Structure 1
């Protein structure tokens, strides 16, 4: 545990087994939310039951759609908070997370911050349904009524509109934080989850159990999928192989983001011991 952060985190008095069970529940929650986000957006775009009745160029463009925008923001902030605050051990060994270094604990927190920032700094650019390049949702509205008795009457609700922050949006924070988050998650999936974090994962002579070997194969596969999607997104978004219009026409960004989130989600379900056939 990072010592500067430890003083802000309460020290749990629960025994290691109880804390391990709590970590499993949280890991499952992260996995289910990561899987639900692309699937809900895909279903909504395909069956066209929510305006504007179309599949967007990217998952991030669903930010601008009623209901789905709130769902998108909620999923990112929910997982961001869990990554930011839930996975701390304060030096107490927790089965399943015994070999998590302090540096990696900090990386996980930065992934959580990145997830929240992705929601707070929405994507720009046109989508299949929105052709304008600057579409920023208003979180709260400020309005003034017409003049009454010579004085304008202003409603008390304050206004905060990201439209006034073009100089921040032009720095592509959304893309930067998305890249950082996916890179960290790919590292955790491929490098951290494949370590031996429980004594029950070893047989005599340091040989790994068949279940651990099988889990590691899944972890490495999902880690490679996430890394492949990151590379593909960079190549596609910058038009390095095919024109951007063609890329967007086939919703390639949406597809790669969906595959990355699904790989991330299933890896965390395995880490949360959801699939009993893979558990030791």
Structure 2
């Protein structure tokens, strides 16, 4: 292990190593393309909550409890599904340097698609006096044609257990992203990152960013899980009044964006020097 690492900058020199390490992977056309895609994915993750907030302001000020609740907004719902599907498509198509990386990315991509197409439950605007929304209804043809309420008034529920599917998919997605930052992104490939038994400074800086992003994502996932399972209705009402689920989801997305901007080599001061 290089002698200038700490808990945030360290990485594995053994596990999930590239199949055929290159001294300068940026010279690979395939990796250059993936770096550009990594930038686009980071940009989508950065802009997604911003677009939802701006859209809500234009749509009458219905700031929903979570990003997922924007699925039900008339226009923003389609944008939410489209942007999340872009992230999912990238994760599925992403080609890493180890089969574990490829498999995990595929599973996370499927999770992103599930988050997009299996919505959370509730409208997310319980205290708002009025808003426009997409809902699920039942239509009966015949004389007379009519729209009737769904059973139990479940206007915001695709099917009875859809909320559980959505939560599990979101957990898979974000847990993978946190672990990916901490394990795969921080791995140390000696051929690239070690000189004179020391981790090169640019890699140490990137690992610091990856470590902060990974722990931030996993910390937010843990906090949201605790809020969901360990708190009572009164606390959740207060929590939703401040849209704190939205805040922590935004924090995770921005940490994810920062990690992928870094991986896509968008910060020159963290790029590796030319190999010797």
Question: What is the TM-score of this pair, normalised by structure 2?
Answer: 0.76
- Structure having greater relative contact order (Cα 8 Å, sep ≥ 6): 2
**Structure 2, unaligned runs of 5 or more:** 1-25, 146-154
Return closer, same or farther for 1:76/1:197 CA change in 2, 3 Å cut-off.
farther
Match of 1:169 in 2: 162
Say whether the 8 Å CA contact 1:122–1:136 is kept in structure 2: no
Shift of 1:199: 3.7
Q: Which residue of 2 aligns with 1:236?
A: 227
Partner of 2:240: 248
Task: Tell me, yes or no, if the aligned pair for 1:193 and 1:216 is still in contact at 8 Å.
Answer: yes
Q: Name the count of aligned residue pairs.
A: 234
Residue 73, structure 1, aligned to residue 81, structure 2: yes
Equivalent residue, structure 2, for 1:194: 186
Kindly indicate whether the alpha-carbon contact (under 8 Å) linking 2:72 and 2:123 is maintained by their aligned counterparts in 1: no
The equivalent residue for 2:112 is 115
What secondary structure, in the 3-state scheme, does the structure 1 residue paired with 2:29 have? helix
Q: How far off is 1:198 after superposition?
A: 7.9
CA distance in 1, matches of 2:52, 2:252: 14
Gaps of 5+ in 1: 1-14, 89-96, 153-161
Matches within 5 A, 1:33-182: 33-45=44-56, 48-51=57-60, 53-85=61-93, 87-88=94-95, 98=97, 101-129=98-126, 137=135, 144=141, 165-169=158-162, 172-182=164-174
Would you say 1:22 and 2:33 are equivalent positions? yes
Tell me the C-alpha RMSD between the 2 structures: 2.9
CA distance in 2, matches of 1:40, 1:210: 36
Q: How far does residue 125 in structure 1 lie from its aligned partner after superposition?
A: 2.4
CA contact (8 A) 1:54 1:129 kept: no
2:122–2:157: 8 Å Cα contact kept in structure 1? no
Q: Partner of 1:223 in structure 2?
A: 214
Task: Please identify, of 195-204 and 17-26, the stretch whose mean Cα deviation from structure 2 is larger.
Answer: 195-204
In the superposition, relative to structure 1, how do residues 130 and 177 fare at CA in structure 2: closer, same or farther (>3 Å)? Answer: farther
